[in-house]
Structure 1
Amino acid sequence: MTTIAVLGAGKIGEALLAGLLRSGRAPADLLFSERHPERSAELTARHGVRAASPAEAAREADVLVVAVKPQDIDTVLTEIGDLRVGTLVVSLCAGLPTSLYESRLPAGTPVVRVMPNTPMVVGEAMSAVSGGTHATEEHLALVTELLGAVGRVVRVPENQQDAVTALSGSGPAYFFFLVEAMIDAGILLGLPRAVASELIVQSAVGAATMLRDSGEHPVTLREAVTSPAGTTISAIRELEVHGVRAALIAAIEAARDRSVELGRAT
């Protein structure tokens, strides 16, 4: 059985461990590294998975998932420098190119770059994967299978990963921002916060499900709600007047640019 180690057991790292366990992976085939002893003890108690140092994980794992903050990558790469030949490295670090890992790890190390997002914690992640120089079709298939335990997966060329980071990696935050504003609007209109929250959250869930399952273009679904001279078209006009569409596009471009900067800074 393939041994999988997760370096960095924050929200994403723990969500991946939990998803792999739900998919049928045995706790004995998983391990993780975490710098805070209290957090390590908590995760072992909750999931039955063994904690190890990054160096130990690198020696034991067939697949090494790097899920640390980008600014911590230099330390991690130093600690796992004696990686076993043939170990697959999977990077979940925003902005970091596969070439960074390939230049610091043993020659020929296969690397797959992944951009997940936080809905992984509820098994609804959107992850994009790209193979490095030495990653084979088998490596990409394995990573796709692993990530399928926590959501949906697409493959993209690595030169599109910064755009993916801006669109789906940061995407949940944009939705949370919009939902927050809509709840505030409900309160302004006289609704209790709890009622406004339930109305908007369920509307968001329903709308997302329609988008995913109907196959219809968003314009078609929006037009179905937009009656002539009705309430919805009045709201849409105000959104356009205030430049909401342009603001969203500019925000996503800014996130893309920051992802590029993170890659250059390493």
Structure 2
Amino acid sequence: MGVVGVGNIGGIIANRLVESKLFQPKEVFLSNRSTEKLKPFIERGYAITGTGEISKLCDIIFLCVKPQDSERMFEELGPAEDRILISTMTAVSIDRIERKTRAKRIVRIMPNVPAMIGEGLVGACRSSHVDDETWQTCLRVLSCLGTVVEVKEEQMEAVTALSGSAPAFFFVILEALIDAGIRMGLSYEKSRLMVLETMAGSAKLLLKLENHPGEFRHVVTSPAGTTIEGIYRMEREGVRGALMKTIHETYLRALQLKNELNDQLGG
């Protein structure tokens, strides 16, 4: 197993490959432009090598560099015809990776922050050369990050908006709810616990029973009660529309960045 680039996402992947007990540290080969970022991995027994060596030593290689650094990385990696490449590089297409590496079995992924504890959502798309057997191998590896949802490549920007960026929006909402609890006289600790457990429990309920969220909203909402008053206020404030607009504008920005990067790299 190889990981090229151990910045934020590459570091998370390297950690999870070992924390999940899929691999021993000595079985995970890492390369990075900055040796400083490799130090904590060296101390824990990971195998450190050059990017070019990773393409020779590893069957599966995560490409985790910044998109603007992809050209230099491709040069250092060299040909990787027989390897499985899993890329976290935003906007760098499967076709471009194939042309630069000669690899055929390519997967693009977009994990989110909860992957740090193996509870993430990983949007993934694959090249036509990734058969079902290879895909199952990739799924076993990616399971260390969380739940994998396969999408079409042209939907990756939607994944960025709805899953990749969305934890930041949830954190803003959660912070506001915690502050509301403090305003009503609860301590920060109790308010935080109540908000997080309520949010987590509500999500687990929907995941387990697979109901539409609106069904459970009506279960909680009594005639002329407190909940309907709060929902009425949310509708008056345009909370639903604001959230939908937030996601859509994030999606449009992701498309814009993709086009800008393609122009920068020459298509």
**TM-score, with length taken from structure 2:** 0.89
**Bigger relative contact order, structure 1 or 2, given CA contacts below 8 A and separation 6+?**
1
Task: Select the residue among 63, 66, 69 that pairs with 1:69.
Answer: 66
Report the alpha carbon displacement of residue 220 of structure 1 after superposing the two structures with TM: 1.3
Task: Select the residue among 152, 165, 169 that pairs with 2:147.
Answer: 152
Deviations 1:136-194 (A, max 9, x none): 33332221111112211121121221111111111211211110111122222232222
Aligned residue type for 1:49: Y
Matched, 1:101 2:92: no
Report the alpha carbon displacement of residue 93 of structure 1 after superposing the two structures with TM: 2.1
Matched, 1:55 2:52: yes
Aligned residue type for 1:98: I
Moved more, 191-200 or 170-179: 191-200
Task: Select the residue among 178, 186, 195 that pairs with 2:181.
Answer: 186
Q: What SS does structure 2 have at the residue aligned with 1:149?
A: coil
Q: 1:100 to 1:260 in 2, by over 3 A?
A: farther
Runs of 4+ displaced beyond 6 Å:
none
The residue number in structure 2 matching 1:27 is: 25
Report the alpha carbon displacement of residue 212 of structure 1 after superposing the two structures with TM: 1.5
- Which structure 1 residue ranges, 5 or more long, are not aligned? none
Report the alpha carbon displacement of residue 135 of structure 1 after superposing the two structures with TM: 2.8
* Counterparts of residues 114-263 of structure 1 (less than 5 Å): 114-263=109-258
Contact 1:129–1:140 (CA<8 Å) still a contact in 2?
no
Q: 2 CA distance for matches of 1:164 and 1:101? A: 20
Report the alpha carbon displacement of residue 247 of structure 1 after superposing the two structures with TM: 1.2
Q: 2 CA distance for matches of 1:188 and 1:92? A: 41
Contact 2:7–2:37 (CA<8 Å) still a contact in 1?
no
Contact 2:107–2:124 (CA<8 Å) still a contact in 1?
yes
Contact 1:97–1:263 (CA<8 Å) still a contact in 2?
no
Report % sequence identity.
33
Q: 2 CA distance for matches of 1:10 and 1:221? A: 40
CA RMSD of aligned residues (A): 1.8
Contact 2:104–2:127 (CA<8 Å) still a contact in 1?
no
**TM-score, with length taken from structure 1:** 0.90
Q: What SS does structure 1 have at the residue aligned with 2:89?
A: coil
Aligned residue type for 2:226: T
Q: 2 CA distance for matches of 1:113 and 1:222? A: 36
- Which structure 2 residue ranges, 5 or more long, are not aligned? 263-267
Q: 2 CA distance for matches of 1:233 and 1:94? A: 41
Q: 1:27 to 1:124 in 2, by over 3 A?
A: same
Contact 2:110–2:122 (CA<8 Å) still a contact in 1?
yes
Aligned residue type for 1:69: K
Task: Select the residue among 68, 72, 82 that pairs with 1:86.
Answer: 82
Report the alpha carbon displacement of residue 133 of structure 1 after superposing the two structures with TM: 4.3
Q: 2 CA distance for matches of 1:233 and 1:95? A: 43
Q: What SS does structure 2 have at the residue aligned with 1:83?
A: coil
Q: 2 CA distance for matches of 1:97 and 1:260? A: 13
